[in-house]
Structure 1
Amino acid sequence: MNNVNELLRSLKSLSGPFLSFEREELPETPGELFLQWLNLAIENEVKEPHAMTLSTVDADGCPDARVLILKNMIGDSFYFASSVESRKGQQLKCNPKAALTFYWPILGKQIRLRGTVEDMGDEAGAADFRDRSAEARVVALTGNQSRELVREEELEYSLAEQREKISRNPDITTLNWRLYAMNVREAEFWQGDTNRKHTRIQYYWSEGQWNHRRLWP
């Protein structure tokens, strides 16, 4: 057995203890259950509970994933923002189907969401951009996300240039910045168990309404 294998097997996972998944009175929609779990995560001081993994597919059908922040949630739509010129922005333009994943280890909870992503338009993108911190706007205005960076000096020069633009026009925005909404059509709420008898509830959209069922661990 190699050292990496031994190292990984020595690490604990799902050590618990965890709260049980109360299934008797499940809400009608996944959005409602998500909010219940999110509030529980906040109450238990989970760090950055709004951090989530966005999974997309490129033009060749290869999956891609990265962690970003949940900006809002309305009903069963989950909002996030990005540059349209970024890798994820280009992938969503070609294929709007995507997935979101939340994982809160101290609670043993995982939430998986699947659906179709929609660009919310110019005004929504501009409003989200203005709500960002000054330095976040500075970086976004460089307009080179995901491109190769050859020299550090190029980055520093561009950042200084964008800071100057913002100082002259604090309300400046860019059409490259977009607010997206993923309209969920499938959701799974997973409660881990120390003995691996995990509880999984899947919501699925069928014939104009939400249904739910329990899945095997």
Structure 2
Amino acid sequence: MDSSEVRDLLAQAPLMARPLPPFDPDAAPAAPTALFTSWLAEANAAGVLDPGAVVLATAGADGRPDARIVALRDVEPVEAGWVFATDAASPKGIQLAQQPAAALTFYWPAQGRQVRVRGDVTQATREVSLDDFRGRSPASRVAGLIGRQSTPLAALTDWDLAAEGASRQLGNHQDAHPPGHTVYTLAAHQVEFWQGDAGRRHVRLSYTRATDGGWARSLLWP
């Protein structure tokens, strides 16, 4: 497939060629967490698939960026903390240890909405991380017990065998947990809300953490 075919395929679904919700930035709440919660509720009501799926961007000691999809676990309104979890020995866990700052990007195509979050990342206590793991589905805990995230896999049958072993381990010990399972919190210092518009009059509202702990709001050119 050459580049012209890619352009033809993209042209079949022009960006924003659908009804989109309005967004009045003057009516936005004072804190970004309140607006995020409102938008997340609207995404759920609109039937957006996997609205908690978010792109986590990190960088390691070499400064090169990396990104992948993770699941949002919670948002802490007071601290403006976006919560996610991973294994500390995974590439993203290692990168966060080397450079404890990250960015999150949500995109809900049905509504033409994007939310960008930037900030510093901290690890939760071991007790919080263990509670998070215990609260996961059996399939998620089995996958976590397998570990080896992002390491080479010779064949899918190897995963099946590892899953069988992890399932037996979990059946024999309900409190079994991977040693590296860690909850992280991204404490936002900047949050941007982007509402798409079919006429390209996109609305961008940026929240920036002020020195007094509050939030300064400003519109951005689209």
Matched, 1:163 2:149: no
Matched, 1:196 2:200: yes
Q: Distance in 1 between matches of 2:158 and 2:12?
A: 44
Q: 2:47 aligns with which of 27, 45, 48?
A: 45
1:54 is matched with 56
Relative to structure 2, which stretch is displaced further, 182-191 or 202-211?
202-211
1:67 is matched with 69
In the alignment, residue 199 of structure 1 is paired with which amino acid? Answer: V
In the alignment, residue 215 of structure 1 is paired with which amino acid? Answer: L
Does the CA contact (< 8 Å) of 1:189 and 1:202 recur in 2? yes
2:149 is matched with 145
Q: Distance in 1 between matches of 2:157 and 2:196?
A: 47
Q: 2:219 aligns with which of 207, 214, 217?
A: 214
Cα deviation for residue 3 of structure 1 reads 2.1
Q: Deviations over 1:155-192 (max 9, x none)?
A: 22221111111111112123210011110110100000
Does the CA contact (< 8 Å) of 1:126 and 1:174 recur in 2? no
Tell me the number of residue pairs that the alignment of Structure 1 and Structure 2 aligns.
Answer: 217
Within-5 A mapping of 1:10-89: 10-75=12-77, 76-89=80-93
**What is the TM-score when the length of structure 2 is the normalising length?**
0.93
Q: Unaligned 5+ residue runs, structure 1?
A: none
Q: Distance in 2 between matches of 1:21 and 1:147?
A: 44
**What is the TM-score when the length of structure 1 is the normalising length?**
0.95
Partner SS state of residue 54, structure 2: strand
C-alpha root-mean-square deviation of aligned residues, in Å? Answer: 1.3
In the alignment, residue 210 of structure 1 is paired with which amino acid? Answer: W
Cα deviation for residue 22 of structure 1 reads 1.5
Does the CA contact (< 8 Å) of 2:48 and 2:110 recur in 1? yes
1:8 is matched with 10
Q: Distance in 2 between matches of 1:32 and 1:152?
A: 43
Q: Distance in 1 between matches of 2:150 and 2:61?
A: 16
Does the CA contact (< 8 Å) of 2:147 and 2:178 recur in 1? no
Partner SS state of residue 25, structure 2: coil
Cα deviation for residue 96 of structure 1 reads 1.1
Q: Unaligned 5+ residue runs, structure 2?
A: none
Does the CA contact (< 8 Å) of 2:190 and 2:209 recur in 1? yes
Matched, 1:95 2:96: no
Q: Deviations over 1:46-74 (max 9, x none)?
A: 11111111111122111111111111111
Q: Distance in 1 between matches of 2:109 and 2:155?
A: 38
Q: 1:108 to 1:152 in 2, by over 3 A?
A: closer
In the alignment, residue 170 of structure 2 is paired with which amino acid? Answer: I
Does the CA contact (< 8 Å) of 1:41 and 1:104 recur in 2? yes
In the alignment, residue 32 of structure 1 is paired with which amino acid? Answer: A
Does the CA contact (< 8 Å) of 1:16 and 1:193 recur in 2? no
2:130 is matched with 126
